[in-house]
Amino acid sequence: MSLFDHTIKEIEAKLHNKEITVQDLVDESYRRIKEVDGQVHAFLTLDEENARAKAKELDQAADTTASLFGIPGGIKDNIVTKGVRTTCASQFLDNFNDPLYDATAVQKLKNEQAISVGKLNMDEFAMGSTNENSSYTPTRNPWNTDYVPGGSSGGSAAAVAAGEVLFSLGSDTGGSIRQPASFCGVVGMKPTYGRVSRFGLVAFASSLDQIGPITRTVEDNARVLEVIAGHDEMDTTSANIDVPKYTEALTEDISGLKIAVPKEYLAEGVAPEVRESILEALKVYESLGATWEEVSLPHSKYAVSAYYLLSSSEASANLARFDGVRYGVRSENADNMIDVFKKSRSEGFGPEVKKRIMLGTFALSSGYYDAYYKKAQKVRTLIKQDFDKIFEDFDVIVGPTSPTTAYKVGELIDDPLTMYANDILTIPVNLAGVPGISLPCGFSENGLPIGLQIIGKYFDESTVYRAAHAFEQATEHHKKRPQLGGAN
């Protein structure tokens, strides 16, 4: 059995008891990566020299009390890491080998003595739901490598599911942590907007993006969020609100918890086996003393349209900095300054990124701003009000994370509308800014994981974690492992 089959708390106990060393953990991470990553392609860059040096240093340290002491993790490749290549899985940043600073979330991990073993694959600039938009190589699902891992944090979810690291950081703009967590059978949390600093996260859509952890268990997830959450003066959208000890909320006692189940989240388009798994999960909650009622999120049907207008508009503005002059690889075929801009962008950006930039530029253009961008902002407000109304009477909202399980590589790549619609259950959470978590709640007939999504009130991640942990401890889904490369 791999060391990574243990929880972070169990690993911590082994380190304190001198049963293992930090170097053992790092060795195990790179051994596993060498064994399976040729099939999974979760990592784009490995930071082996620095990781091993840090492990040696920690094994000689007198103080081992840091929250993530010696724990190996991976960082999504759109989160800046000092001196370590950061590409956003784009050819445009292929030469970004030596960033000058760490993202705040990365620095907080370092402060608690976690070890980053490398940078994780993703859809280019976080635009995609399958990881097939990586300009390097698509990540594969560890449960079946013929299938996608989800996106855009597909590498982050796959690395945890495949036993390559104990935790990872992803980013979530419209479901990019929760959907791959669902597809890969792991736990992924999108915190409340403003709970985690975005400083050092390469921006896609600044009003929607949020960094969050992916782990194997709810308790591990809560522990990582405790570390990376908190106010940051470098991020003006960071909330100046105290961070609770999320791990102390994991009591397993949810008697009296009031659960709302939106009828739209179990309607047409949700696969029968997904719907059945959610209904079974609700029976588990009933057995634990919780109650649930059907409710409505009437404006959720407009969420996908509003999201793609708003996120693409923000992407159009954010990605304008990539011009081959200040940022990005400069075209070698340019004869003048206009050519530098045009050719650098046309050669550097992939097709999905170009598509969204053009859509966003159109939505912001004169004559169309009111018809598209402004209207989408109004819909966003209505969606937020839907959540506010439900949370007047309920503690959490429960439903599927994705309407289907993972699909085959290449199956939807030429059908973008169907692919976009697959995010219909995660996107409203980002538009409203509330927290949401995905955790395993079953498996399809062909052995692919099904994700349960739990949505909470603003800055109430504690209740979300409590509800998730109670379900996890009452079931066995989280104990199953993909058999990729043998037992892990």
Residues taking part in catalysis: 76, 152, 176
The whole-angstrom separation of Cα 89 and Cα 79 is 11
**Environment class of residue 416 by beta-carbon count within 10 Å: exposed (0-12), middle (13-18) or buried (19+)?**
middle
Q: Closest Cα partner for 39 from 121, 123, 152?
A: 121
The whole-angstrom separation of Cα 397 and Cα 391 is 8
The whole-angstrom separation of Cα 57 and Cα 265 is 49
The whole-angstrom separation of Cα 77 and Cα 486 is 27
The three-state secondary structure class of 168 is strand
Q: What is the DSSP letter of 455?
A: E
Q: Name the residue type at position 71.
A: I
| Residues in a beta bridge with 119 | 45, 75
Phi, psi of 295 (to 5 degrees): -135, -175
Please give the sequence-ordered ranges of beta strands (E in DSSP) within 16-114, or none if there are none.
43-46, 72-76
Q: Closest Cα partner for 402 from 149, 146, 132?
A: 149
The whole-angstrom separation of Cα 344 and Cα 71 is 39
Phi, psi of 370 (to 5 degrees): -65, -40
Residue 245 CA, distance from chain mean position: 21
